[in-house]
Structure 1
Amino acid sequence: MGRGYVGYLVLYCGWAMDLGRGANPNSYMIEEIWQELAKAKYLEWESESTKHTWELQTLKEACESALEEKHFLDTSQTEGVSDEATEANAAQFELLGQVFAKAAEDDTPSEVPDYLCCKITLDIFRDPVITPSGVTYERAVILNHLKEVGEFDPITRAPLCKSQLIPNLAIKEAVQAFLDKHGWAYKTD
């Protein structure tokens, strides 16, 4: 499958973020690259979601038509419409609705889990780091705190310096898995 404009933009922004982070982790350029990457990923998700929603709706309508036709055929072959057949048909329609609602869940925006968000900004992590006390923060945010407010953990108040921050790769992978499944979470405004 070929990449479109958005696909290449996402790829290049990802590379640029990795390069920028390696050159200067405190740079505002990284935030700008993240914003562009998030916009591109959101647009990509929006396009795929619209297509997926359309396909699901078309399939749901076809299934509903088939159920209606089956109910009509079943009732025309018997003498009159039985309550049991009508109830069974209604139950099938309800079950069909539940199946399609479940299929649409990943495309339905909801809340990002707290463990995937910075304790200070409440935004989804981009570059999470963990402190010796076990609290995870967004790297740029905690570095700014250490520089502007003081060298202590803002939640535990324990002494903290820049060299004690360690990338939290488990949370970073969890965030990426969440974003891969829930592209709507890339929306930044």
Structure 2
Amino acid sequence: MDGALDLGRGANPKSYIIEEIWQKLSKAKYLEWDHDSTKRSWDLQSLKEACETALKEKHTRDISQIEGFLDEAANSCSARLDALGEVFRKAAEADVPTEVPDYLCCNITLDIFRDPVITPSGITYERAVILDHLEKVGKFDPVTRQPLRKSQLVPNLAIKEAVHAFLDKHGWAYGTD
């Protein structure tokens, strides 16, 4: 995805083509995640049902062989079913949308970073947004109010990698824009 964005950026980092590329790529990534998530959900549900059936069948066999400990066997089966439900709930958590961590979002737009840049004061912004601010509002950092020039902006590769790692693990976040 970075390659396409870098190619589209060309000489103008605020180019509309960047936004268009991002929208197309993020939609494709979201649809891919949605498809995979639905399949995982069906697979997990089928596996859960098979495990529950197996536990219940084992419980039925155990009851027919045990005399006098029916309450203990029922409690044991119930506890196992509860534990099984918890395991499958945790397995499904990766596909449940939550909030994107603040450190992965621009201070101005609150959207997840696409092309983060860091200022000398250590604040990270979305490149196109801070460039727009410098051009239209003034040559200063919007948070610290310190003088700021375009040449002082440096790509924040650590945040960029963190965003990619987050998106790889949480594909639902592609649909948050």
Q: Residue 126 of structure 2 corresponds to which residue in structure 1? A: 138
1:177 maps to 2:170: no
CA-to-aligned-CA distance 1:43-70 (integer Å, 9 cap, x gap): 0101111111110010000000011011
* 1:113-124 → structure 2 map (5 Å cutoff): 113-124=101-112
8 Å Cα contact 2:117/2:127 also seen in 1: yes
Q: Which deviates more, 89-98 or 76-85?
A: 76-85
Q: Residue 146 of structure 2 corresponds to which residue in structure 1? A: 158
* 1:79-98 → structure 2 map (5 Å cutoff): 79=67, 82-98=70-86
8 Å Cα contact 2:118/2:155 also seen in 1: yes
8 Å Cα contact 2:9/2:17 also seen in 1: no
Q: Structure 1 vs Structure 2: percent identity of aligned residues?
A: 72
1:17 maps to 2:5: yes
Q: Which amino acid aligns with 1:109?
A: P
8 Å Cα contact 2:29/2:174 also seen in 1: yes
Q: Which amino acid aligns with 2:119?
A: T
Q: Residue 42 of structure 2 corresponds to which residue in structure 1? A: 54
Give the Cα–Cα distance (whole angstroms) in 2 for the partners of residues 167 and 15 of structure 1.
15
1:127 maps to 2:112: no
8 Å Cα contact 1:39/1:188 also seen in 2: no
Give the Cα–Cα distance (whole angstroms) in 2 for the partners of residues 136 and 80 of structure 1.
68
Gap runs ≥5 in structure 1: 1-12
Give the Cα–Cα distance (whole angstroms) in 2 for the partners of residues 81 and 180 of structure 1.
50
Q: Which deviates more, 73-82 or 109-118?
A: 73-82
Shift of 1:24: 2.0
1:103 maps to 2:91: yes
Shift of 1:88: 1.3
What's the Cα RMSD here?
Answer: 1.3
Q: Which amino acid aligns with 2:31?
A: L
Indicate the SS of the match to 1:125: coil
CA-to-aligned-CA distance 1:151-178 (integer Å, 9 cap, x gap): 1111111111111000000000000000
Indicate the SS of the match to 1:129: strand
Shift of 1:80: 5.1
Q: Which deviates more, 90-99 or 174-183?
A: 90-99
Shift of 1:26: 1.7
8 Å Cα contact 1:38/1:188 also seen in 2: no
Give the Cα–Cα distance (whole angstroms) in 2 for the partners of residues 85 and 47 of structure 1.
41
Q: Residue 4 of structure 1 corresponds to which residue in structure 2? A: none
TM-score, normalising length: structure 2? 0.95
Give the Cα–Cα distance (whole angstroms) in 1 for the partners of residues 11 and 148 of structure 2.
23
